[in-house]
Structure 1
């Protein structure tokens, strides 16, 4: 295994542009997450149809489009919610951020309508300056930081997995299959290499932020555990994806697309909530969604059964990823290499 680690390190040093780019992206993502989470204040972006809602304008960024925005605009965070007003005073709220967020906007609309009926068109006073209903819980700083870093950590794993992919592409694995080194030790070396390069730079950035006095939500020990978990998922996903492609470049492109798409849909950048549709429930099959849920509950001090279930799911899906990758690679290359050896 040490031979694999030394060999991979020598190769990555010959391709420093990959290492520098990945570390730089992760560092910038961590810095932006920490600084923006601690300083940036936002208000809900709400689209109102069927009438005016001046009572929301002091607390929300309100627009009045001519037609209802597409569902994609909610998913891409163009709008936080769409409020459809009826002539009889009833209303309907659509949001991609779940039932809790819908209830917040609903409370603001009801309070505003009640104020109008009482002859007071002033501020409803339901939302605070961050657009959050009093008493409702929102994603906290530590979970936000993990969420912002998640996609970049997954992309790093895909990038560092190119060493494994190049061994496949150049048929070096076939030679390893007939060498004294077992395939299990070879794959373990690749996994440790990827995990270390994903974990170490990200944890260093968190340590620097902590020393600079920034609020990171979690303690360093907690952050180390969460980043180790993210790095494990990144490593297993990288080996899984690269096992299905013959070239490193193809695996990198496909893996990066998967990392970006699944991270956005999982709500790592902003919380999409937990809607009641089958599509919303299907998002909970994604490991990123479960990892974020575990981090959120842990930061709130609620290590309940849901949190433990989410943690176990992430570990299990990571084990499934690396097991499939190992079996697929062994089938495609190791057995082929042994057959070649016997033929000779």
Structure 2
């Protein structure tokens, strides 16, 4: 009963919090919509800008389109994805390559202009994303979005703690676990409902084959929302200020190295071992296999690992909160 009353209290308070309503009902669906439309685009050749005063016999490849330019493009053109690289002809058989790609990719592009050939094993980012599958790419983007927004939606916990309401609430017949559970339930629902509706509505309206049944999609998004909820509670318990800023940075970095967008390790065993620590890596492995036709029971290890992270973050967050309560910090 206490949990229900606490949850109702948050629903009443949310009406006075326009930022929460905007995040849950507008920001999350829009960001998910952009992720879906972007991820569902068919793979296309990556374009390289070639700056040369004597551009003849341009190299040909199924991986790249070479576009001759008279003026060197700006860094903004690379950031916005207009070009994947800018190649400058030094007129002595050498080329200067400017790109945000890896050193290995830059070397491949440089050799491409020198020899006109690309290693058979080389795959561009667009090709890799196409092979991963639309559903995997979409949920990879959504994973980062929800991790970032999960922290934003724990605002009541942060607010109650900072103005000492949290301690007054616990004086009543309400336990700390009941309060955190109600906060977790509120955050989870604010993440899951708009996320699931956004994905289903957009995929149906635009006739996008996401690669999962709606039932499986619900389960996979529930896992994301549970992870985002416990991550938000953990970060709010650990940090006293700049919570969203720090959590957003951690979310972005771990999602990148966890392979949410593209393989980060490039088959490096050491990096792969480090990156496999993050739950994102296991989640992407699981959903990619499911999208390719495997059953979820074939990924029991990844599923259990995700549950360990979810429960672990919750327990550590609860422990830290309890400790700070005893020390009088809250």
Find 1:167's aligned residue among 160, 172, 180. Answer: 160
| Cα distance change, pair 291–131 in 1 and its aligned pair in 2 (3 A) | closer
Tell whether the 8 Å contact from 1:236 to 1:318 is kept in structure 2 after alignment.
yes
Query: What CA deviation, in whole Å up to 9, does each residue of 1:119-151 have, x standing for no partner?
Result: xxxxx9999999649xx9811111111112112
1:202-241 map, 5 Å:
202-212=195-205, 213-241=207-235
What SS is found at the alignment partner of 2:190?
Answer: helix
- Could you tell me which residue of structure 2 aligns to residue 91 of structure 1? none
Aligned length: 311
Query: SS of the counterpart of 1:285?
Result: coil
Partner residue in 1 for 2:262: 271
8 Å contact from structure 2 (residues 254, 278) kept in 1: yes
The separation in 2 between residues aligned to 1:47 and 1:327, in whole angstroms, is 54
Per the TM alignment, residue 54 of structure 1 is displaced from its structure 2 partner at its CA by 4.9
User: Which residue is 1:245 aligned to?
Assistant: 239
Matches within 5 A, 1:284-303: 284-303=276-295
Deviation digits for residues 90-145 of structure 1 (CA, Å, limit 9, x no counterpart): xxxxx978x9x9xx99xx99x9759xxxxxxxxx9999999649xx9811111111
Q: Is the 8 A contact 2:265 2:271 kept in 1?
A: no
The answer to whether the Cα contact below 8 Å between 1:287 and 1:314 also exists between their aligned partners in 2 is yes
Match of 1:140 in 2: 133
TM-score by length of 1: 0.72
Aligned to 2:11: 9
1:214 Cα shift?
2.5
Matched, 1:37 2:39: yes
User: Could you tell me which residue of structure 2 aligns to residue 184 of structure 1?
Assistant: 177
**Alpha-carbon separation, structure 2, partners of 1:216 and 1:298:** 12
Aligned with 2:177: secondary structure?
helix
Structure 2 counterpart SS, 1:146: helix
- CA shift at 1:22, angstroms? 4.3
* Counterpart Cα distance in 2 of 1:181 and 1:281: 43
The Cα shift of 1:41 comes to: 2.8
- 1:59 and 2:63 aligned: yes
CA distance in 2, matches of 1:272, 1:321: 25
Partner of 1:154 in structure 2? 147
The separation in 1 between residues aligned to 2:217 and 2:311, in whole angstroms, is 22
Distance apart, 1:243 and its partner CA: 0.3
Matched position secondary structure for 2:132: coil
Equivalent of 2:322 in 319, 330, 341: 330
Note the C-alpha offset of 1:171: 1.9
**After the TM superposition, which of the residue ranges 222-231 and 15-24 deviates more from structure 2?**
15-24
Specify every segment of 5 or more residues in structure 2 that has no aligned partner in the other structure, as ranges: 51-55, 69-77, 86-99
> Whole-Å Cα distance in 2 between the matches of residues 299 and 62 of structure 1?
34
Cα distance, 1:256–1:53 mapped onto 2, change above 3 Å = farther
Q: RMSD in angstroms over aligned alpha carbons?
A: 4.7
1:213-248: CA deviation from partner (whole Å, max 9, x where unpaired): 32222111011011100000000000000001224x
**Could you tell which deviates more after superposition, 201-210 or 18-27?**
18-27
- Cα contact 1:290–1:314 (8 A) shared by 2: yes
